[in-house]
Each structure stands twice: as C-alpha cells, then as structure tokens.
C-alpha cells in the first residue's frame, strides 16, 4: 500500500508534478505581480504553483484538460475519499501499466483523480502526455521511493481550494470573464525551443502556432480593457514577436524533461507583463484580492 507523508507545511505545494512548473521561479514571478488585483484567473492551471503560493481570496482556475480539472475538484470537494483511494495504489511496473490502460471514464471522481495522481507521481519525470486518441502514454518512471499519497499536503491544498471556481474550458473562454482590475496569469504549453523539444500534448489536439497566436491576441485584448496580464513562455524569436510592445523579463529556469540527465539544465524563459504597477524586487508576503466577486460561481 502507498505510504502517506504526514510532514507539516505552512504553505501547500502543488500536489501534481508538472512540466514547466513554477515553484523555482516564484521569487521572480512575485516581483512582477501587480501590486493589487481583484480576482485571480489562471486558465492553464497545471501544477498551480503560483496560486498555492499566493492563496488569493477570489480565484478561478481552469484548463482544457478535463482530467486535470477533475483532480482539483476531487481535492477541493472530496479529499478524504481521494486519500483513501491513493493509499490503495502501489509502486510497481506491471501495476502502473494496468492503471494506465484502465479506462476510468465511468468511475467515481475520487477514483478518476486517484488514477491521474498515481500516474503523475510514478510516471517518467512527472510528464503528462496523451496521444491523438486522448490516451495517456507516459512510460513507467524509475524512482527510489516515490510518495504517491502526500496526505498532509493534499489536505492543505484542499483548504486553499475552498471557494475557488474550477472550470473545464478553453483558455479564451475562461479569461474573457476577467474585468478591469483583475489579474490573469497565463502559463501555456511553451513554444518549442527546437523541433524535437515540444511537450504540448497535454490535450489530444496539442497546442500549436495558431493557439499561440490566439493567446497573444487575447493577451492584448485583455490588456486594452484594463485587465492586468502576465504570461510565461520560452525565450524564442516567435514569443518576442508575438508580445512586442509589452514588458519582457528574462528569467532562467531549470527543466528536467530530457531523458538524458546530461542534457537537463537552465533554459531561458520570458515573463511578459502588461502595463500595470509591479510589486518590484523587494516584494514580500501574500497578495490578497480586494473585494468579493459575485459574477463567478464558486461551484461552476
């Protein structure tokens, strides 16, 4: 049976490993945040490292990946059942491939979410990837003692998620709810640095050039109507062209996706900011929303 880590943490960490996760960049991102905002939107939720760090009073988390949204919903609404489910899972190669092959579509929410979290914690490098048929196809990962059920952290994540709107939808529909004074953070699948470096298949249709262009147009549209917008992406000529005219901050992030450890290391990324007062390098503490938001339901 899976062993649960009960160590206590003041701030919960992302309960999912996620390619491009932002925990290591939190100091840089915090310095670039708006000084104040009303409602927090994150349309590519991923591991939600920035959300868990900020713990905003009013927030909407969304994603086009239904399995991912199911995980957050299970943590928010049924964490005890989810913990019991995760305790059943074992770290074993044959068991992993059996779980990967299992079609959980008709299963209860805690079982669907438990499968996703289990595969995430025990698959290769925490990668989430599906084929064109929408089937998860990441191989078994080699770990010394993977923590499948981090109970204390899951409980902490559940507390932070209470009252948060969780929505399964396209990024454009999600962000279009934002109004002047709100803050939208986009952390999309990145523009590939090389033709073979793409890890954009977190949904069956992928995330290609047309999507990147649509996202850039949305970024400009939101900025023009007074929404405070920040975006992370790879430092490439395309990204610089798409977001020309906005503040571009260069950051270095360590990425561990490559199968060969020798090819892992720091890579250049860009953080794009619209025109808003930023907190600055000395920023500390937690950003809180300024007022209750009634236009977004807490239980969509």
Q: DSSP label at 262?
A: G
Q: What local confidence, expressed as pLDDT, does residue 288 receive?
A: 41
The pTM of this model reads: 0.86
Beta bridge partners of 231: 186, 272
Residue of 20, 16, 65, 17 lying closest to 197 (CA atoms): 20
pLDDT of 290 over the 50 cut: no
**For the chain, what is the largest distance between any 2 Cα atoms, rounded to a whole number of angstroms?**
54
Separation of alpha carbons 242 and 214, rounded Å: 10
CB 16, CB 47: distance < 8 Å:
yes
- For 56, counting Cβ atoms within 10 Å of its Cβ (0-12 exposed, 13-18 middle, 19+ buried), the class is buried
pLDDT of 294 over the 70 cut: no
CB 121, CB 148: distance < 8 Å:
yes
Provide, rounded to the nearest whole percent, the portion of the chain with pLDDT above 90: 73
Average pLDDT rounded to a whole number, residues 266-275: 93
Domains within the chain, CATH numbers bracketed: 23-273 (3.40.50.150)
Residue of 217, 293, 199, 255 lying closest to 231 (CA atoms): 217
- For 58, counting Cβ atoms within 10 Å of its Cβ (0-12 exposed, 13-18 middle, 19+ buried), the class is buried
Angle between helices 151-161 and 79-88 (to 10 degrees): 150
Confidence of residue 250 (pLDDT cuts 50, 70, 90): very high
For 93, the 3-state DSSP assignment is helix
The set of residues, in sequence order, having a beta carbon less than 8 Å from that of 186 and lying 6+ positions away, is: 42, 43, 44, 171, 175, 215, 219, 229, 230, 231, 232
Provide, rounded to the nearest whole percent, the portion of the chain with pLDDT above 70: 83
Q: What local confidence, expressed as pLDDT, does residue 287 receive?
A: 42
Confidence of residue 44 (pLDDT cuts 50, 70, 90): very high
3-state percent helix, strand, coil for the chain, nearest multiple of 5: 35, 15, 50
Residue of 55, 13, 297 lying closest to 160 (CA atoms): 55
Confidence of residue 6 (pLDDT cuts 50, 70, 90): very low
Is residue 41 within a helix (H) or strand (E), and if so which, with residue range? Answer: strand 40-42
Q: What local confidence, expressed as pLDDT, does residue 134 receive?
A: 85
E strands along 163-264, which residues?
A: 165-168, 183-186, 228-234, 247-255
Q: What local confidence, expressed as pLDDT, does residue 257 receive?
A: 52
Angle between helices 109-122 and 66-77 (to 10 degrees): 110
Using only C-alpha atoms, what is the Rg of the chain?
19
């Amino acid at each position: 049976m899976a062993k649960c880590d009960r160590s206590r943490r003041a701030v919960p960490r992302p309960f999912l490993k996620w390619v491009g996760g932002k925990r290591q960049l939190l100091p840089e991102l915090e310095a670039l945040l708006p000084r104040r905002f009303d409602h927090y939107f994150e349309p590519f939720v991923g591991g939600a490292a920035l959300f868990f760090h900020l713990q905003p009073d009013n927030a909407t988390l969304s994603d086009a990946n239904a399995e991912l949204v199911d995980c957050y919903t299970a943590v928010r609404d049924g964490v005890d059942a989810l913990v019991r489910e995760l305790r059943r899972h074992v770290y074993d190669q044959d068991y992993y491939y059996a779980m990967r092959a299992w079609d959980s579509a008709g299963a209860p929410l805690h079982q669907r979410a438990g499968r996703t979290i289990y595969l995430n914690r025990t698959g290769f490098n925490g990668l989430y990837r599906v084929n064109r048929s929408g089937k998860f196809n990441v191989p078994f990962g080699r770990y010394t003692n993977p923590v499948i059920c981090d109970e204390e952290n899951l409980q902490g994540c559940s507390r932070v998620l209470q009252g948060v709107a969780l929505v399964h939808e396209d990024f454009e529909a999600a962000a279009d709810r934002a109004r002047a004074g709100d803050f939208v953070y986009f952390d999309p699948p990145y523009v590939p640095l090389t033709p073979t470096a793409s890890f954009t298949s977190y949904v069956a249709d992928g995330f290609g050039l047309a999507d990147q262009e649509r996202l850039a147009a949305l970024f400009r549209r939101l900025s023009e109507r007074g929404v405070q917008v920040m975006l992370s992406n790879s430092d490439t000529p395309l990204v610089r062209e798409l977001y020309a005219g906005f503040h571009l901050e260069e950051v270095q992030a360590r990425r561990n996706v490559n199968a060969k450890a020798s090819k892992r290391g720091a890579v250049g990324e860009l953080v794009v900011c619209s025109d808003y007062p930023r907190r600055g390098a000395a920023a500390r503490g937690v950003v809180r929303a300024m007022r209750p938001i009634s236009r977004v339901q807490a239980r969509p």
